[in-house]
Structure 1
């Protein structure tokens, strides 16, 4: 039986540098599954996009290891490439929200085994002003924590680094006046936070995006949090938000396949935990079943 060709792209700095001590064992798992493996460690932000986009045509699969940001870059590169092939994912980040949603094991050896023994799954991705995201585009409260928190702090503290940095900046709460247009209608209000998601968890919080989430249904889950009147309401609002206890007076929650955000000021956005630029106009659309990702055989 002829070997299959795999391009293995990994971020050596992700998740307490977990990949370093597991790299040889992971490659061994791939090799024993009859893959001829080409290994590429990323050198800087955006590196994986170009490597995947400009890859040789001989590859049968592109596998990546790192955090959700690494997966985002690989998906972005695949979206922009002429030929789309399956993507494998060995999570090594601090939160790995999308891997959790896909049922991919958090242990690196187990996720590598699940990849080579798994099945193909066509899932949705988002396109935000022509840049892709895998599971979340967001603005407002705490959304810059993930990309402003230094990597070495994340490596030492893991998920706790996000919580500490977020709590430190509670006093910086501000709102943004936005017009939000979907195929279903128009909303105009002041928001402290907004997220467009295709995931069962965000920031390690499961079910924060809603119940009965499907990653291949062609629609996003949208959560928009309004500006509360006082800090007591803010405290109650945060508790309701994390527990997905929807308070219609304080938040909008709905599904849509296409959404446009407009504001008079430039607003910073994040895509899959990485800086997504500052925008006055953001057009987000769902690309249904646009990429194929390897998932465990028992995923429903």
Structure 2
């Protein structure tokens, strides 16, 4: 018998996750499926709970948004458990990237999960954690932090990210950065944002890395540099179709290991969650020094 655990974030998607879970639960009862569930109460709950149960469950299903998926992935990596998703968050960016069949219908999501069909997908290692979708540094991380701390912007869904871009842009200053990709160094004098990804969609539907493939064993990198605020505003809408990559200020790279160094203290998010940077006690020349490494076929995803 398959041992299943559903991890529900009741606050995800302005309460949508709880509503979706009730529909999913009714379908499970109808089918007489045996399962366990865990309701999170605070950030980090899912990771701690899952690590205490390492290896017990065959499937762990995240019911929530990208942040819930992020926690579940960090809780089950290297345990052999398969990852399932019932998208019920604000952006549902990873589900959009995967184009999950009926991914906004919890009953169809349950049907898909019960089929137990999975594919191995890559993860990305950063510091002591992993992420499954996209990490961003610079302006997009400032936007993510703004949305995360604003209940009003969260309630706006994808429009909240657009509103935050307009709110953050006037006061934001880009900084110099060096990006090393598989040993090849690239220097940028005024990097607005640096996105490193395994998936391709973030920020409520922005196709920042349109060529990303979470099964190819490679990271996709997008750097926006050398552009005025006015031109950035003009180019910004194109990110929703992925056509921003044709602009000369947008540089795309691919590799298995990425390092970002900057004298500026760049904010960073992973799967939309703001990451607390690990620092040594001694003063450092560079305020930002982050390493990203692809972990090929690190987790099985229920599709």
**2:199 counterpart residue number:** 199
Q: 3-state DSSP class of the match of 1:266?
A: coil
Between stretches 113-122 and 198-207, larger displacement belongs to 198-207
> Is this contact kept in 1: 2:139–2:192, CA < 8 A?
yes
> How many angstroms apart in 1 are the aligned matches of 2:8 and 2:2?
19
Q: Which residue of 2 aligns with 1:102?
A: 98
Superposition TM-score, scaled by structure 1 size: 0.88
Would you say the 8 A contact 1:100–1:201 is kept in 2? yes
Deviates more, 1:10-19 or 1:95-104: 95-104
TM-aligned CA deviation for residue 235 of structure 1: 3.1
Which of 270, 292, 295 is residue 300 of structure 2 equivalent to? 292
CA distance in 1, matches of 2:74, 2:178: 28
Separation in 2 of the partners of 1:248 and 1:155? 30
| Consecutive unaligned residues in structure 2, runs of 5 or more | 278-286
- Where in structure 2 are the equivalents of 1:111-126 lying within 5 Å? 111-126=109-124
SS across alignment from 2:208: coil
CA separation in 2, counterparts of 1:25 and 1:94? 18
1:124-149 CA-partner distances (Å, limit 9, x unpaired): 11111231111111111132333432
> Which piece of structure 1 moves more, 46-55 or 149-158?
149-158
1:206-245 matches, within 5 Å, as: 207-211=207-211, 213-228=212-227, 230-239=228-237, 241-242=239-240, 243-245=242-244
Displacement of 1:26 = 1.0
Question: Would you identify which runs of 4 or more consecutive aligned residues in structure 1 move more than 6 Å?
Answer: none
> Which residue in 2 is equivalent to 1:131?
129
> What TM-score, normalized to structure 2?
0.87
**Matching residue of 1:26:** 24
For structure 1, the residue ranges without an aligned partner over 5 or more in a row are: 296-300
Note if contact 1:6-1:35 (Cα within 8 Å) is conserved in structure 2. no
Question: Secondary structure of 2:254's match?
Answer: strand
Asked whether the equivalents of residues 4 and 34 of structure 1 are also in contact (C-alpha less than 8 Å), the reply is no
CA offsets per residue over residues 159-186 of structure 1, 9 Å max, x none? 2222222212220221121111111510
- Quote the Cα distance in structure 2 between the aligned partners of 1:64 and 1:241: 27
SS of 2:222 mapped into structure 1: strand
How many pairs does the alignment contain?
289
Partner-residue secondary structure (3-state), 1:126: strand
Please give the alpha-carbon distance, in whole angstroms, between the structure 2 residues aligned to 1:151 and 1:106.
24
Contact 1:179–1:262 (8 Å) recurs in 2 = yes
Equivalents in 2 of 1:239, 1:148: separation in Å? 19
Greater shift in the superposed pair: 54-63 or 261-270: 54-63
TM superposition shift of 1:32: 4.9
Offset of residue 268 of structure 1? 1.1
Does the 8 A contact of 1:16 with 1:158 survive in 2? no
- Aligned partner of 2:173 in structure 1 is 174
| 3-state SS in 2 of match to 1:218 | coil
- Alignment RMSD, CA only? 2.2
Q: Which has the higher strand share?
A: 1
